[in-house]
Structure 1
């Protein structure tokens, strides 16, 4: 067992974990933060996306011990206008992927603001990259929605980017 100290949603948490416990399982099973979902458990669906120091990661692929003393934000700790945009634009249906979609969107918008291009960016040296629906879809491609609420998700993100 390993003592792991984590800052989760602004609170310091001390856990006694086996070194092989994923960050996802530490959050869900040891801290009771069940908003982050376990979808594929292979990093392919994005349902487990959380923010670590403001960057989006798949928590199912991360060992909890790797994230000791880092700032971890789960959907329970998110207070962002994008949440209301998701509601206004029907950016969810069953809701299973929504927490990962929202955390990913927050991280993606920060990446965009920092000038990071995507695979569909027209000019990599462009000073300003417009967040078109095509850009948003590419940047959010790591998050799957089995209900197909993509149009609402894109509209919510586009509204939040203005």
Structure 2
């Protein structure tokens, strides 16, 4: 059985990578903002100043996990253009993304028990935990599908 597979155009790949790059930049900006804002909050609320270092560390580690996922997604976007999306390196990248999301979700779970903020902040973090868990599970399913497909670009009718 031979199926025709449609691959994205070069323009689509450029637009996708640009969007991922903008998201990456937004995460970096968020990390910088969290460090700056934590200093002013620690000065304004000295009773919570002991939480500054662990919460900033959690924010930075979470950001690194998200940046890793975005970078891997950009590489995978190129794989679709190069007809390598069903290859073993794509499988490894999807596994890496699932692992990074799992670590990011674990960081949120730990943070949930440290935050001194209002209930709305706790619910926001809890929502992040649910979202992170769902995305991790989706990536694990995708990874298992990629492993089960086991087709190569040659099988899809494309030369390597």
* Higher share of residues assigned helix: 2
Q: Same fold (TM over 0.5)?
A: no
From the two aligned structures, give the one with the greater strand fraction.
1
What TM bracket, shorter-length normalisation? under 0.3
